[in-house]
Each structure stands twice: as C-alpha cells, then as structure tokens.
Structure 1
Amino acid sequence: MAPLFFLHIPKTAGTSLRYSAHEVFPKEKIFMLYGKDSPTTHPFANELMYYRQGVGIGEQLRLISDYLVEHEIAFYSSHMSAAYLPCFDPGRAFSLFRSPCEQVLSYYVFQKRHGRTSQSLEEFIEEPRNQNVQTHSFGSADLERIALVGILEEYEAFVARLNRRFGLSFKSVHKNARSLASRLAGPKPSPALRAYIERLNGSDMDLYRRAASRWSVLARAAA
C-alpha cells in the first residue's frame, strides 16, 4: 500500500499534523523532506538531494519514490509536492489550505522571526517567490482527485475527518502556533493592503476557494 501523502502547504498548521504523525507511526515508517540538514528531513533524502553529485531532479524523485515503496513508508510529508513522485497515489493524499492573506502574513512573520528577511511587509509581498506559495507547494496535484482537502478555519473538523477517512488517531494539537503577544505585535495591514495581497496571490485565491468549496460539500454530505 502506498504511503499517506501529506501535501504540506507552509503556514497551514502542518507542523501540528507532522507532530501527530510521530505519535501514530513508527519513526522508521515516516519520511519527511524539509531542506538541507533539517532535523526533520529523512537521512536518505538529505544525502540524495543535497550531497550526491550529478543526480538530476527527475532521478532524485524516482529514487525517493523507490525508497518509499521498498521500505513500506507509511507517512510522507514535505513542502515539495508529493504529486511529482512516481509512486504518488491521490487516493491516499491530503492537504490543508488557508485564507491566502492570512497565510502570507503568517509566512512573513515566520521568515522575519527566523532572520530570513529584513524586509517590510510591503517589500516582502512584492517578491515573486513569496507569492502564490500555496499553489507552488501543492504542485501538479489535482484538487478534485486527492482524497481529502480541508481549510485551516475548520482545523479540528478536518483532523476528525482525516482520522475517519484513513483510520488514524491524530490529535487536534496546535504546535508552532503564535503566542498572543506575537499576534498582537504582528503586522496589521489595512483593508487596501489586504486587497492588494489577494490580487498578488490570485492563484492561491482560486485554489483556496476551490478547496473551501470542496470542504463545504464534504461537510454537508456528512451532516
């Protein structure tokens, strides 16, 4: 059986889901890819992606896919879309989305807190690499074909549905959540700036609307 594929969109409570996965699956059955030398990145992925010379991205994806199958990995998670892996099964995939403006603001605060940017919010949102992050992370996956999509605003209900869909026992924890002080000190964009952020992230707005619509359909069907 293919792993469960978590298509982890940055700043959408994915850390909480990863934390739950470690309580449900044995360590050796979890495979994560989160950047060079990250403590969460699987050793095989770290060596292959960042230290092995002369291996193109296509071959890297094939080798990771083979590893997942051969080692009967149960849970895969990464900001790099699992949809690019040859073994990807949309019927065993799930993802969580967030209102684009709130996702951008959270992403900005995260980057600022970790010293990855010294830009103002106005400067940060103009960088193309900081736009439509949810769309880029979701990659080539088909929103209508993956097994479960949810929205952060319905996080507890999403975790409950995830558990029912795949027979899991994930907890509705909130890891990496910002403190009240952090939220109060965070950026407070004007309505005009919020509208501008939405225009800059048109692909994410469309993706989020589609995800919210599908979630509503699932919620009505379960009612």
Structure 2
Amino acid sequence: MSLFFVHIPKTAGTSFRKGAERYFSPERIVYDYGANSDATSPLVKKFLYDDQPDFWQFKQSLNNPAMIAGHVLIARFASLWGVGNTITFLRDPLQRIASEYEHFVRHMNYKGSFKEFYSDRGMRNRQRRALYGVNLEAIGFIGLTERYSESLEMLNDRFATRIPEREDNQGKPRLEDEYEFDEEDLVELRKLNRRDIELYQYASALFDSRYEMFKSNQPWAHACLVEATTESVSGWAWWAGERDAPLEIELLVNGELASTVRAVEFRQELCRLLPPRGGYVGFNLPVKLSPLDTVQCRVAATGQRFPPSPRRIEETVK
C-alpha cells in the first residue's frame, strides 16, 4: 500500500513529511513539488513534466514507494493511488494564509503588503482548490493542523504506521499561537475565502465525528448523503480500510428511524477514485417527504451519523 499526501502549504505538511521520512526513510517517498523544485524526484520530472506526461508509465516505473507527496491537486494522483489511500491536512483558512504570507516574505523575498498578497486570486481558497472534485467524506484521512497530535494518532492507527510528531517550518514560535488581524483585513479575508471557510468548518465537523468513533473503538465509514429531496434520498458509504462488507444505512427523518437500505448500488462517478467494492457502494431510497422535514443517515452497525448535522429537504424541481 502506498499513500498519496496532498501537501497544502502551511498546514503542518512539512512536519508530517519529515516525520514520514523518518519513519519510512526518504528513499521510499516520491516527491512532486513542481518541475523546477530540487525536491521533486527524478522519475517525476522524467515522466510527468515532459511534453506528453505518462502517468501510468510513471507509476509502473516506481519500486513500491511508501508515499508520494507534494504541492499538487488531489486529482493529480487520486486515480492512481485511490482515494482511500489519500491523506491531507487542513488549517483555519485565515491563519493559513497569514502563515503563507510570512513564509513568502522570509524565504521568497516577497515585498508586497499583506493585503496585496491575500487579494491575489491565486491565494484565495487554496485548500478548496487543492481538493476540488472530491468529496471530503471520500478522502482516506483529513487531519487538522490545530489538532495535529490527535490527527497523527488517528492516521497512524488507520494506516498501521508510527509516523512521529514533529514541528518543522513554522513561522511562529508555537503551532498553537494565532495570528491577529485588523478588522478591515478580517472582513476582506472572510469574503475572499468564504469557500475555504465553509470547507474547513465541514472538515472540522467530520473530524470531531471520526475522533469520537476512534475513541469509542468503532470503525469509521466514509459516507456521504449526496441528495435529499421530497421524493428520494441517495448517497454512498463504505468502510475505511480493507473491509469489503456492505454497510446497512438507516434513514432518520426528523430524528426518527424511517427506513433502512444497504449501500450496494453502483456509483459510476466514484470509480475514477478507486473506491472499494468496484464502486458498488451507493444507496437510493424512494421517500415521500416535505420541505419542512430534516434527514440524516446512520450506519446501523456503529451509530455513526452523516452528514454531521441533519439536512433540510430540498424542494423537488418538476
């Protein structure tokens, strides 16, 4: 099994990468930090930064790496390594961008102001762009910078590793220290990074749910309520890890058990991410509901609820 690490800048990724190097050894990690980066592995440059990149030949040329990592979008390697083996860390978006600004000033001789930096279109919503096109619920593991110790505890348990905790490449004396913002910057930052803020809030709710299951010694299910209308409820679910058994899903309407279904239907749109069971992980329930109702699903075997909060029914468009 090889891991794919989406290293989003200034999310404790360097600490994780250095810890992984110590555990796996640097020779077993393949890096993709861009064509001009000294850190990028030779095979990456040979196969992926040519006139005609050949991703399949690239993978075939590797000798059982423990991990591939880099400042790349999740879509770059998820179809080769599988979404279940994909990991990343997220951070409070405003803290992350302040940290990245300081990094640019210290290490890249950036001369612009903080406002000029965060106003640049390329610096907005960077976490969402890195994970675009993949549901958070499907990703093998999402850690939080602010809860790095707990994240590493769960990650090591999930992948049977012992990656040590480190604190590298920090702009502040301590990871838990927070940057402070002027009110004008705060308002503008929140407006420009609204999608990242929403992403982080949802990821935090998923993290809380997963950590609760972890502490209760219960298996985690990657599970998503995709659609909930007045006529049907649908989604997908599978066990984290190597378990291949289908999940039984309970539908809760206004907090009450309404129906059960097995997640065994084919979800073609997931197949590019190499989900388990060949993509036969979906469920669909015909229902009769009103826009005033709320729905939530529950994994019958463990009680895990998804989404983390009940969702109000959407009006069906005729």
Q: TM-score, normalised by structure 1?
A: 0.86
User: Is the 2:154–2:214 Cα contact (8 Å) retained in structure 1?
Assistant: no
User: Is the 1:4–1:76 Cα contact (8 Å) retained in structure 2?
Assistant: yes
* Cα 1:141/1:73, change in 2 over 3 Å: farther
Amino acid in the other structure paired with 1:134 = Q
Q: Where do 1:115-134 residues align within 5 Å?
A: 115-134=108-127
Is 1:105 aligned to residue 104 of structure 2? Answer: no
1:187 & 1:142 partners in 2: Cα distance?
29
* Cα 1:187/1:207, change in 2 over 3 Å: closer
Is 1:197 aligned to residue 196 of structure 2? Answer: no
1:4 & 1:100 partners in 2: Cα distance?
25
Q: CA deviation at 1:125?
A: 1.3
1:65 & 1:210 partners in 2: Cα distance?
33
Q: CA deviation at 1:152?
A: 1.0
The gaps in structure 1 that reach 5 residues or longer are none
Amino acid in the other structure paired with 1:35 = G
Q: Which has the higher contact order (CA 8 A, sep 6+)?
A: 1
Partner of 2:9 in structure 1?
10
Is 1:74 aligned to residue 66 of structure 2? Answer: yes
1:162 & 1:150 partners in 2: Cα distance?
8
Partner of 2:212 in structure 1?
220
User: Is the 1:96–1:151 Cα contact (8 Å) retained in structure 2?
Assistant: yes
* Cα 1:179/1:98, change in 2 over 3 Å: closer
CA RMSD between the two structures: 2.4
Partner of 2:157 in structure 1?
164
1:195 & 1:171 partners in 2: Cα distance?
38
Local SS of the residue matching 1:124:
helix
User: Is the 1:84–1:140 Cα contact (8 Å) retained in structure 2?
Assistant: no
Local SS of the residue matching 1:144:
helix
User: Is the 1:81–1:140 Cα contact (8 Å) retained in structure 2?
Assistant: no
**Larger-gyration structure (1/2):** 2
Percent identity over the alignment?
27
Q: CA deviation at 1:188?
A: 4.1
User: Is the 1:81–1:141 Cα contact (8 Å) retained in structure 2?
Assistant: no
Q: Where do 1:135-214 residues align within 5 Å?
A: 135-180=128-173, 188-214=180-206
1:116 & 1:61 partners in 2: Cα distance?
34
Q: CA deviation at 1:160?
A: 1.0
Amino acid in the other structure paired with 1:38 = S
List, as ranges, runs of 4+ consecutive aligned residues in structure 1 with deviation greater than 3 Å: 47-50, 59-68
Partner of 2:75 in structure 1?
83
Q: Where do 1:16-55 residues align within 5 Å?
A: 16-50=15-49, 52=50, 54-55=51-52
* Cα 1:6/1:212, change in 2 over 3 Å: same
2:132 & 2:31 partners in 1: Cα distance?
17
Q: Which segment drifts farther, 99-108 or 186-195?
A: 186-195
Q: CA deviation at 1:83?
A: 3.0
Q: Which segment drifts farther, 80-89 or 9-18?
A: 80-89
Local SS of the residue matching 1:153:
helix
Local SS of the residue matching 1:10:
coil
Q: TM-score, normalised by structure 2?
A: 0.61
Local SS of the residue matching 2:87:
strand
Local SS of the residue matching 2:136:
coil
1:155 & 1:41 partners in 2: Cα distance?
26
User: Is the 1:9–1:138 Cα contact (8 Å) retained in structure 2?
Assistant: no
Partner of 1:64 in structure 2?
58
1:18 & 1:200 partners in 2: Cα distance?
29
